[in-house]
Structure 1
Amino acid sequence: MDQVMTQKPHEMLAATLSDEMAAVNTLIRTRMASEHAPRIPEVTAHLVEAGGKRLRPMLTLAAARMCGYEGDNHVKLAATVEFIHTATLLHDDVVDESGQRRGRPTANLLWDNKSSVLVGDYLFARSFQLMVETGSLRVLDILANAAATIAEGEVLQMTAATDLKTDEAIYLQVVRGKTAALFSAATEVGGVIAGVEEAQIKALFDYGDALGIAFQIADDLLDYQGDSKATGKNVGDDFRERKLTLPVIKAVAQATDKERAFWTRTIEKGRQEEGDLDHALALMGKYKTLEATRDDAMAWAEKAKTALQSLPEHPIRQMLHDLADYVVARLH
């Protein structure tokens, strides 16, 4: 099999956009520097160098390039998107009291919660400086809106995560905040700075939105049926952390009184005993909620691909199409 065929879509995107991604990384390092507080670059470097896929900034570069953009503001916007993402990760790990991210100790564990929160604030401020430098009020509006939606989603998740009244509509709102808002803003601003027509900007937004939702639903499903070596999480972490995600929400919606009492004890009250995870999985099996969740993820991936149809013919468009398939290909 030749090399190109075995490359994953995000790797092909990374290769195609390698020069611009290098410029983004350089800009990120430059803007992380702080002459007065060396703790800032220490903490941010730990996260930024952790080797994530850099999917969100890549989406901004891809959208701009696909729409024929030729300036360099897309590099600033891609760095902005990564800063917003990194800031939310720093804050998330404090809120979730996490000890690990991408297989490494989290910043709040290595330093402390105060450093994580304050460095996150610094990155948000830096991201706004970068946006302003593009001179586009519309871009500022889109990304500021995304930052607000992300925070809103996190606050909503805190109250909704252990409340059995949380239904699929609320779950979708949380997912839009937590994941999809930054995906859709990342793709949308690429089109805005390229100056394409409104219908195409809307298509870019729709693609990012649907891709982000498919991505998060897939992630939540893999928590219950993934390979822990591949995902870096243990099966059932969400259950142990009492997070109401789609597979459980679907099971609760169909539960008998006895089953509902089980979900109330384990999720709402957090009184978990030996064998509870197996029982939870058995209930999901009874109502086929893992299959139904997989179907939902696939449907969102299809929506993402449909949104691409009105965008310019371009090799990157095909990569974005394949990326939507790849996000759900991990689901068997």
Structure 2
Amino acid sequence: MLKLSEIQRPIEGELAIFEDKFKESMRSSVPLLDRITHYIVKRKGKQMRPMFVFFSAGSCGEINDATHRGAALVELLHTATLVHDDVVDNANVRRGFFSVNALWKNKVAVLVGDFLLAKGLSLSIRNADFRLLEIVTHAVEQMSEGELLQIEKARRMDIEEAVYFEVIRQKTASLIASCCACGAASAGADEATVAQMHRFGEKVGIAFQIKDDLFDFGIDDVGKPLGNDIKEKKLTLPLIHALKQVGKPEKRRIINLVKNHNEDTQKVAEVIAFVKANGGMEYATAQMLAYQQEAFDILTHLPENAYRHGLEQLVRYTTERNK
């Protein structure tokens, strides 16, 4: 499988410039804020979102200053949502590091998230990037709705496959879709192309989330705690499909395990074994590959160049990664 560093090669110069601009966009005159934002930048992830922005811009036109601002806007708003998510989830660890709320407490973490959100808004308004702002704020709105929809359904444990796809479309796919749409819009693409790139990002995002859900049932040693979604009472695609294969008594028994015994390691292992025995893994994998193919089909409408090739490699990476 290709490493992300190899996929990044056509845009590694852009990513280096972006990193400096992103750091600059988070700067504050308050020493505490500066210390926290420096900590956030230091433990940054794989830079997949900026990669989608730059590759999409290069596929639809030329990478320019607006593209860099679009990438910074996506990362600022995304980082704000992650900081807030850790407070909501009472999570002490993010990407193997202590979360902001673990180190500086919830009150500071919420204010830092608000600060990053405001920084993204002011960056866009200052440069009149209203189309980019419209795309990204719509994604953040959808992410909040998706999270609340999932919380509501988790309480009642009645999630259907259609609802699952709506949740992940809003929670995960909307952000990747906004990266691709921002890239296209920043390069001056027409609205039809921007919409097409948004659809492409949505397909990739859904495939990405299904892959993440598969990890929970132990397809690889990824450092993610096995059965974590079960412990959080999340009904994901492998489990939803497996439940459809059995009668009501067995379905009730498994739902009871997820609902009332999710802290019991043995019971969680029982749910995982149930999913594997009832075709949940194979079904979810087939769905993931179908969304991947739909993403590839959309890319055939773009001119063939190094940037489109980069997008193709990123799509493969989302489904072949092992963490």
Aligned residue number for residue 29 of structure 2: 35
Name the CA shift for 1:90/1:151 in 2 (closer, same or farther; >3 Å): same
Pick aligned residue for 1:321 from 302, 312, 316: 312
In 2: Cα distance, 1:150 partner to 1:273 partner: 30
Pick aligned residue for 2:194 from 174, 196, 201: 201
In 1: Cα distance, 2:66 partner to 2:263 partner: 51
Counterpart check, 1:19 vs 2:1: no
Deviation at 1:129, TM superposition (A): 1.4
Pick aligned residue for 2:148 from 142, 149, 155: 155
Pick aligned residue for 1:296 from 284, 287, 296: 287
Counterpart check, 1:119 vs 2:116: no
In 2: Cα distance, 1:191 partner to 1:35 partner: 34
Aligned residue number for residue 89 of structure 2: 96
Pick aligned residue for 1:252 from 239, 243, 249: 243
Aligned residue number for residue 284 of structure 1: 275
CA contact (8 A) 2:135 2:182 kept: yes
Deviation digits for residues 87-118 of structure 1 (CA, Å, limit 9, x no counterpart): 11111111111122211121111111111111
Stretch deviating more after TM superposition (273-282 or 75-84): 273-282
TM-score scaled by length of structure 1 = 0.90
Pick aligned residue for 2:180 from 187, 194, 204: 187
Deviation at 1:48, TM superposition (A): 2.4
Aligned residue number for residue 232 of structure 1: 223
Deviation digits for residues 276-311 of structure 1 (CA, Å, limit 9, x no counterpart): 122212221232011101111111111111111111
Name the CA shift for 1:57/1:274 in 2 (closer, same or farther; >3 Å): closer
Deviation digits for residues 105-163 of structure 1 (CA, Å, limit 9, x no counterpart): 21111111111111111111111112223424322221121111111112222222343
CA contact (8 A) 2:145 2:170 kept: yes
Name the CA shift for 1:70/1:250 in 2 (closer, same or farther; >3 Å): closer
In 2: Cα distance, 1:241 partner to 1:268 partner: 9
Q: Which of structure 1's runs of 4+ aligned residues deviate more than 6 A?
A: none
What is the 5 A alignment of 1:74-93?
74-93=67-86
Aligned residue number for residue 3 of structure 1: none
SS of the aligned residue for 2:90 comes to coil
In 1: Cα distance, 2:79 partner to 2:118 partner: 12
Structure 1 vs Structure 2 CA RMSD: 1.9
In 1: Cα distance, 2:262 partner to 2:303 partner: 54
**5+ long unaligned stretches in structure 2:** none
In 1: Cα distance, 2:112 partner to 2:25 partner: 13
Aligned residues: 322
CA contact (8 A) 2:215 2:224 kept: no
CA contact (8 A) 1:99 1:109 kept: yes
In 1: Cα distance, 2:213 partner to 2:40 partner: 23
Deviation at 1:49, TM superposition (A): 1.7
In 1: Cα distance, 2:156 partner to 2:237 partner: 13
CA contact (8 A) 2:66 2:129 kept: no
Deviation at 1:166, TM superposition (A): 0.9
Name the CA shift for 1:171/1:223 in 2 (closer, same or farther; >3 Å): same
**5+ long unaligned stretches in structure 1:** 1-5
Deviation digits for residues 215-274 of structure 1 (CA, Å, limit 9, x no counterpart): 11100111112333xx22121111122221111122223332332222332223456545
Name the CA shift for 1:162/1:298 in 2 (closer, same or farther; >3 Å): farther
Identity %, equivalent residues: 34
In 1: Cα distance, 2:316 partner to 2:175 partner: 19
| Paired letter, 2:73 | T
SS of the aligned residue for 1:225 comes to coil
In 1: Cα distance, 2:62 partner to 2:24 partner: 24
| Paired letter, 1:186 | C
CA contact (8 A) 2:168 2:209 kept: yes
SS of the aligned residue for 1:282 comes to helix
Deviation at 1:11, TM superposition (A): 2.1
| Paired letter, 1:166 | I
